[in-house]
């Protein structure tokens, strides 16, 4: 047994989740671990590995204006730009490990800066910045803003809306999410050539102006119990199209989030819980 571990590196981690969207979190502040896509895929396997939707890395900030750097990798090993549920778990990880004593911290992601604020009753608030409706900045050659967009799928035109919350989202409004073909359509849209880097696909059922239900097919992952950035994206679309109020409760499979947005020119906020499951270590 000792010979087996002799040439392997021991990595401590925490298992966490936000509404069932689960994460492996590693502290890379003192030692920066370089994990290959192959290794991340093995670790994410729920039968032979630790099992998670995303891997989160806590790194030193490269700027005096930012407290920490926040990196996110999907289960297939691809690094992505944003994860809302992950941001809350990231913040809780910092608190539990004594890495901060602030009530409000700033973190940098691949493309954005986020503000994470610790609220009473173990709730965490994240400033997700202003939604980006200029989708040509991402994949398309034209600015479609927040209007409906048509995608050819199964010889039919599927109507959806596009927005970025630091990562790309496609929102489809449905009458009832219970029977929505989330995995079939989500996978097919994600592989559409119009989105060469893939896209998160959400199905939104509007209950009333203050309440929606949402199911999400996450890029490179599949349907998850919850997706914070997708909740933000769906509400942003609903508010931009004057279908929702400025404060909305989003019901996902794993629980509920509160999303607040006053509209164009202002940041969007997400409020929800984060949970620590266990700490462990693994040799790689």
- Cite the active site residues: 83, 227
- Cα gap 187→220, rounded to integer Å: 9
Residues in the chain: 284
> Could you tell me whether strands 211-218 and 247-252 are parallel, antiparallel, or unpaired per DSSP bridges?
parallel
First to last CA, the chain: 14
**How many CB atoms are closer than 10 A to CB 48?**
8
- CA–CA dist 256, 250 (Å, integer): 5
Task: Give yes or no for a contact between 28 and 21, defined as CB atoms under 8 angstroms apart.
Answer: no
Q: Are 56 and 83 in contact (CB under 8 A)?
A: yes
Q: What is the DSSP letter of 132?
A: B
Per DSSP bridges, beta strands 149-153 and 123-127 are unpaired
Question: Are the CB atoms for 261 and 236 separated by under 8 Å?
Answer: yes
Contact 168, 192 (CB under 8 A): no
Nearest CA-CA partner of 218 in 11, 93, 80, 121: 80
């Amino acid at each position: 047994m000792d010979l087996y571990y002799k040439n392997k590196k021991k990595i401590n981690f925490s298992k966490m989740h936000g509404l069932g969207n689960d994460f492996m979190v590693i502290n890379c502040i003192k030692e920066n671990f370089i994990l290959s896509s192959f290794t991340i895929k093995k670790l994410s396997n729920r039968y032979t590995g630790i099992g998670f939707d995303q891997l989160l890395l806590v790194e030193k900030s490269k700027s005096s204006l930012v407290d920490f750097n926040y990196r996110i990798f999907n289960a297939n090993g691809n690094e992505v730009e944003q994860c809302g549920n992950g941001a809350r778990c990231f913040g809780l990880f910092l608190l539990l490990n004594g890495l901060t004593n602030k009530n409000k911290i700033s973190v940098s992601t691949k493309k954005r800066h986020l503000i994470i604020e610790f609220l009473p009753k173990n709730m965490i608030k994240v400033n997700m910045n202003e939604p980006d409706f200029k989708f040509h900045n991402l994949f398309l050659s034209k600015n479609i803003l927040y209007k409906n967009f048509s995608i050819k799928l199964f010889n039919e035109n599927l109507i959806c809306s596009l927005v970025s919350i630091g990562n790309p989202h496609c929102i489809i409004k449905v009458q009832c999410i219970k029977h929505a073909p989330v995995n079939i359509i989500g996978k097919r849209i994600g592989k559409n050539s119009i989105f060469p880097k893939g896209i998160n696909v959400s199905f939104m059922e509007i209950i009333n102006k203050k309440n929606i239900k949402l199911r999400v097919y996450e890029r490179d992952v599949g349907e998850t119990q919850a997706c914070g950035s997708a909740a933000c994206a769906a509400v942003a679309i609903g508010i931009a199209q004057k279908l929702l109020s400025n404060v909305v409760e989003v019901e996902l499979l794993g629980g509920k989030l509160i999303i607040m947005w006053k509209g164009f020119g202002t940041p969007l906020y997400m409020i929800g819980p984060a949970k620590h499951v266990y700490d462990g270590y693994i040799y790689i």
